[in-house]
A = this chain, B = another copy of it.
Amino acid sequence: MTATAALTSPRKRSGNGAVRRNDADEIGLDALVGHAGYAVRRFQIWIFQDFIRTLGDVDIRPTQYSVLTVVGANPGLSQMAVAKRLGIERARLVHLLDSLEQRRLVKRVKSKADRRSHALHLTAQGATALAKFKRLAAEHERHVEEKIGKENREQLLRILAGFT
């Protein structure tokens, strides 16, 4: 089960007689191939890069998109509620909202019911912008489908549904 790499193709050699194995595809991952976390991590990096590239023109990153989506679907939520729902630190959400509010996509309304908290709403501008973001995000999702296959993507969503 161990040295997979050492057995196959003839090795390139440099000036002297030393073995060169710099080529990535000859290097075995050993135990790493059995770890879900490694594969998931690599996939997550790929998927975020594609998302960022696909929504590059509108300059929206995955976390910003998730906040806009949730606020759009649940107007009036407090920052605490959004943070809890998305698994974001409330300290971090502060900066995210600062940015989104500066761009006039979201507004913080002082809650009458609980004067500690802010009720979050999309601006009119934010609502139309979000519609565009969703179209681009759907395009990104098609990239994912092309990469891993339609059935695999659906299977993946089913397997991981519990984490949303």
Contacts and interface: CB of A to CB of B under 8 A. Distances in A.
Interface of A: 2-3, 5, 14-16, 18-22, 24, 27-48, 51, 62, 66, 69-70, 72-74, 76-78, 80-82, 84-85, 87, 111-114, 134, 137, 140-141, 144, 148, 152-153, 155-157, 159-164
For this chain, the copies found in one complex come to: 2
Contact of A164 (B14, B15, B19, B32): B32
Contacts of A2: 73
B69 A113 contact: no
A157 B38 CA distance: 10
Nearest to A51: B37
A22 B69 contact: no
